[in-house]
Structure formats: C-alpha cells, structure tokens
Amino acid sequence: MSKSKQGSSFYILRDDLLHPLVNGNKARKLDALLPLVEDHKVTDLVTCGGCQSAHTAAVAVSCAERGLRSHLLLRGEQPDVLTGYNLVSTMYGNVQYVPRSRYANREEMLRTYADLVAGEDGTVLWAKDIVEGRDTMNVAKMDDFSSMKTSRRKVLIVNEGAGDALALLGMFRLVQHLSQDHLLGKKRPVKFVVDAGTGTTAVGLGVAAMSLGLPWEINAVMLADTLKNYKRHEDHLIAEFSRQFPGSVFCSGLDMNQMIKWIDRQHPRKFGKVLEGEVEMCRKIAQETGVLVDPMYTLAAWETATELVQDEKSSIVVMLHTGGTLGMFGLAQRYKTCFTNLKD
C-alpha cells in the first residue's frame, strides 16, 4: 500500500467488511457476548456511548437480528439531522439522549435505566456477572435469570464500548484463525498495527498472541488517552480475564511489555479533532487503493503501518481495519468545510 519504496507493502485485515453495519472491532468484541445473551434468554440489553457510537449501533443491530430489545443511552443532545451510526442506533434500537453531567457517572446511569426497563418483577445483571457467577449468590441469581418466565424482563447491562475482559475472547478467536499455516502462521514475525480508542482490542490481540506463543508485536496507536491510563486499562483487563477464566491457557504472570507497544500517532491531538488535510488524505487512499479509512481512527493505523513497513525487513506488517466507516457521516456534520472543499 506504500509507493514511496518499491517492493514495500503491508497487509490489511478487512474487518470493516464483516457485516454491513456490525463490523470492525465492535463485531469482534460482541463475538463472545452474543451467545451468552441467547443462552441466558435475555430480553433487553442496555448500553451507552457517544452520539456517533459504533458500539451502540452494533448492539442495536445485533439485538434486532436476534429478536431482542436494545436500549441505548447516548451522550449529549440529539443532532438536528440523524446520520451515520446515530441514525442506525435510532432505527434499530431505543435511543435516549443523556445530559453530559449525568453521563459522567456511567455505572449509576446504566443501572438506574436498567432497573426502569426491568420493572418490578424483572431481573438485571451486568455482563460480567454471567461469567463471574461462581459464588452461591450469583449462581442462584443466574439460574433465576435464565429460568424466568418469558413474560418477565431479563435485562443485561453492557459497559460502554463493551470494553471488558469478555471482549478479549473475540480477539482470541481472530488470532487463532490468523495463526493458521495458510494465513500468517505461527513462526513468522508479525507487526500488527491497530488504532486504540479504549485499548481493549490491542490488549486482546496481545494476550491472545502471547498465549499462543506467537512471535507477534502489537503496535497500538494511542488516540484517546495517556500512556499511563492505557497501561492501567491493560492491567485491569488482564487481571479481570485471569479471574473470569482461571482455567485458560493464559497466565497473568506473563510480561506483556514486549508484546504490546503503545505508541503516539504521527500527528497527536485532542481526541475528536480532525486536522487540516486529513480528509483529503482519506480520499486519496480510497481512490488509490479502494480502502476507506477515517481521520478519527483508522487513518492513524494506516500512517503507522506505512511508516513501519519502510524499515521493516524480517517481519510482515498487518493493519487491523477496525471499521468505523459510517462515522464519516458524523464527521461530515461536524467538519463541513473539510468535506465541502474536497477537490481533485
């Protein structure tokens, strides 16, 4: 994908093509959750996200496909024109806009709304309760949750972005698939590149690769937080995963420092801001390669992959396309001049 050096190229894992509306890392994070939702006969699912949240749209569509009700708490005010993921969330789910002051306390907000959905005779569980329900109280609660009459609401709360340990299982399945001999294999060094919002996808790739003993390096481009906070989230996910799946091949004592490299994007900025010329760059990439990236997330991974491949001799470079295509519609609302001034 880079023409500046003859013979150099990188691979792109087109997870943006997994599903018309549920794609990228949002689909991977829901990979292990959705079977549990069906097994426990959940009737309603409550989650939250930003106005143009790809996560809430993925949840809404996935629930609708399975005959479930989704309740989506979106931060801020309803936009004048519904587009992109906001429109998808509205068409497939039940959307409520929440003031930013109230949204700041996500756990309380989600629990309060879930209780309203459940009503007096319904039951509410957090997604992690299903996995961690090993003590007597939780087992009894889960049994009741699964065996309730269909007339009662069974409400499951999913954290913002599905950014918890359960989401790592989807990355395990992806890495197992990619490590097959006819794909990337288990012996060839690979430099993976992924844009990091919460960092959950990057941690999942790293944990899975290390568990399988793969000579991979995960280059996570930090977009929304500091290195300190990304490392804190990494430690939290690993501890939570070890607690929830104690019988897994993963050992919490493994050193992830050599597996995951948290790196700055080429052009750092406050999250949510688009710099001059980036929309034009996305357009150029789309016209030359047929791959659509967005300036908020995937352009950062593209730039890093392009940089890595210039000096890489022994490893192959693989960019994980985390989707987010419909987010371009929301950006076009916010940054009108960046899109109206597109010219050849």
Q: Indicate if 47 and 174 belong to the same structural domain.
A: no
Last residue of a domain, one of 109, 142, 162: 162
Q: Indicate if 14 and 33 belong to the same structural domain.
A: no
- Say which amino acid occupies 137: M
Last residue of a domain, one of 139, 162, 185: 162
The question of whether 53 is a catalytic residue gets the answer yes
Q: Indicate if 336 and 194 belong to the same structural domain.
A: yes
**What is the per-residue pLDDT across 124-160, written as a single tens digit (0 to 9) for each?**
999 888 887 644 345 555 555 555 555 589 999 999 9
Q: Indicate if 47 and 170 belong to the same structural domain.
A: no
Residue 132 lies in a domain: no
Q: Indicate if 158 and 169 belong to the same structural domain.
A: no
CB atoms within 10 A of CB 72: 25
At a CB cut-off of 8 Å and minimum separation 6, what does 305 contact? 1, 10, 193, 317, 318, 319
Q: Indicate if 287 and 192 belong to the same structural domain.
A: yes
What domain count does the chain have?
2
Mean pLDDT of 321-329: 92
Mean pLDDT of 241-264: 74
pLDDT tier for residue 1 given thresholds of 50, 70 and 90: very low
High-pLDDT (> 90) share of the chain, %: 73
Q: Indicate if 46 and 14 belong to the same structural domain.
A: no
pLDDT tier for residue 253 given thresholds of 50, 70 and 90: low
Q: Indicate if 115 and 17 belong to the same structural domain.
A: no
Nearest alpha carbon to residue 318 among 1, 5, 13, 3? 13
Per-residue pLDDT at 246? 76
Of the residues 2, 53, 62, 70, only one is catalytic, namely: 53
Last residue of a domain, one of 114, 138, 162: 162
pTM score of the predicted model = 0.89
Q: Indicate if 184 and 248 belong to the same structural domain.
A: yes
Q: Indicate if 258 and 317 belong to the same structural domain.
A: yes
Query: Which residues constitute the domain of residue 254?
Result: 9-21+165-341
* Sequence-ordered strand ranges (E) for the chain: 11-13, 44-49, 69-75, 94-98, 123-126, 154-157, 190-196, 216-222, 260-264, 316-320
DSSP 157-195: E--GGG-SGGGHHHHHHHHHHHTSTTTT-SSS-EEEEEE
Q: Indicate if 205 and 334 belong to the same structural domain.
A: yes
Residue 144 lies in a domain: no
Residue 35 has pLDDT above 50, yes or no: yes
What CATH number should be reported for the domain holding residue 228? 3.40.50.1100
Residue 146 lies in a domain: no
CB atoms within 10 A of CB 50: 18
Residue 171 has pLDDT above 50, yes or no: yes
